[in-house]
Amino acid sequence: MVWLRREDHEDRELRWLSPWATQSCNAGPRRLAEADDPLRTPFQRDRDRILHASSFRRMQHKTQVMAAFEGDHFRSRMTHSLEVAQMGRGVARALRCNDDLAEAIALAHDLGHPPFGHVGEEALHEAMRDHGGFRHNAQGARTVDYLEDRYGHGLGLNLTLAVRTSLLKGRIPDGFPVSDDLLIDGAKQPVPIEADLVDQCDKIAYLSHDLDDGLRANLFAEEEAAELSLWRDAVASCGSTNRQRIVSEITSLLIHDLVATVDEALAKAPAGGKYPRIRHSDPVVVQAQELLAFLRKRFYHAPSVLTVMQDGAQRIGTLFEKLVADPSQLPEHIRGRIERDGIERTICDYIAGMTDRFLIRASS
């Protein structure tokens, strides 16, 4: 048996991937030049670096919706990211796009999330209102580019340009510090098709697993979920009344519709141009919006959820003010960044990297 070298993987990509896909040979440069790995493609190498990063491990104890300390079986940022990675690989492969790139993007897409989910993000953005703001996508790029200084060269994980630009997808607050090579004339560089596929898989993942977690937490009844159009279609498709089987079928319906819709759009798109918008079919967009509206009302804004989240947000604001007033309370290796990054951004980076439980200890 002959072992597969990196060149073999890249040769297979040239013969098998869609013209819209991102070849490993087009991964873009790393900021610090490195010799190629004999076994792994650049995107496989990026994926492995993300998996071994401290910021990835900390996601196990960061809130998705239900706080990590409220139960062992609710999704965390890490388990959500793993689900997105699994979906991203499957969708990318079905469309003959680069599944290694999709996996790397998915595993890293939430690295910049602070403790206590989106309310934590809003609390940090408010604290940084006059200092460049805060967004988890931009913080994720900052994490892999600078904060995750695993190798001591000051360039973070030294990922490929394709992965780094993909993590910057989404809105960036004015004044947020972004690496110069991620911008062209002040604007973000275009992202590969795999980034948009992962973005859709992220939505599929949170719609389906938040529905599951909300049911598990008894925040709404199965009879209420059964009124949803997607739920009814899933029951008809799988022929089961088992709750978890139905939720799994909802995931499958969303994934299959995404693949079929994107495949049809790519087949009609002119060669050599920008790939078409990555989206679901119109009927499924309506169904997904109905499910999202239901989750916002019955899960995300449930009093028991909001109470915990708002407590976390208050802790973030209080701790931020406390550390700005007395930076000597910061760990020594964190204080060393103040001269370069300023007090506010240094403290923001520090809090954003905390787990829920570390924040609670630090703010108590």
The Cβ of residue 145 has, within 10 Å, a number of other Cβ atoms equal to 24
List pLDDT tens digits, range 292-325: 999 999 999 999 999 999 999 999 999 999 999 9
Tokens 């989106």 correspond to 118
Rounded to whole angstroms, the Cα distance separating 271 from 251 reads: 31
Element holding 4 (H helix, E strand): none
- Whether 183 has a pLDDT exceeding 90, the answer reads no
The whole-chain average pLDDT of the chain stands at 95
pLDDT score at 204: 98
| Structure confidence at residue 189 as a pLDDT band (50, 70, 90) | confident
Enter the pTM of the model.
0.96
pLDDT score at 223: 97
pLDDT score at 35: 94
Rounded to whole angstroms, the Cα distance separating 292 from 206 reads: 9
Average pLDDT over residues 153-157: 93
Q: Is residue 96 part of a domain?
A: yes
| Structure confidence at residue 1 as a pLDDT band (50, 70, 90) | low
- Whether 197 has a pLDDT exceeding 70, the answer reads yes
Q: Is residue 324 part of a domain?
A: no
pLDDT score at 230: 98
Average pLDDT over residues 211-218: 96
Q: What tokens appear for 238 in the block?
A: 């799988």
| Structure confidence at residue 151 as a pLDDT band (50, 70, 90) | confident
Domain that residue 94 falls in: 39-304
Q: What tokens appear for 233 in the block?
A: 């279609």
- Cα distance between the two ends of the chain: 59
Average pLDDT over residues 161-182: 93
Strand partners, 184: 187
Q: Is residue 18 part of a domain?
A: no
Share of the chain above pLDDT 70, in %: 99
Q: How far is CA 362 from CA 11, 119, 303, 322, in A?
A: 51, 18, 25, 11
Which residues, other chains included, contact 63 with Cβ-Cβ below 8 Å and sequence gap of 6+?
A: 76, 77, 115, 116, 117, 120, 309, 312, 356
pLDDT score at 78: 96
Average pLDDT over residues 51-69: 91
- Whether 231 has a pLDDT exceeding 70, the answer reads yes
Q: Is residue 269 within 8 Å of residue 280, measured between CB atoms?
A: no
Q: Which residue has the higher pLDDT, 183 or 98?
A: 98
pLDDT score at 104: 98
pLDDT score at 21: 97
Q: Is residue 313 part of a domain?
A: no
Average pLDDT over residues 55-69: 89
Q: Is residue 279 part of a domain?
A: yes
Average pLDDT over residues 140-149: 96
- Whether 185 has a pLDDT exceeding 90, the answer reads no
Assign residue 170 the CATH number of its domain. 1.10.3210.10
What is the number of domains present in the chain? 1
pLDDT score at 273: 81
Q: Is residue 67 part of a domain?
A: yes
- Whether 214 has a pLDDT exceeding 80, the answer reads yes
The Cβ of residue 240 has, within 10 Å, a number of other Cβ atoms equal to 13
Q: Is residue 294 part of a domain?
A: yes
Average pLDDT over residues 222-235: 97
pLDDT score at 343: 98
Tokens 């560089």 correspond to 189
Q: Is residue 360 part of a domain?
A: no
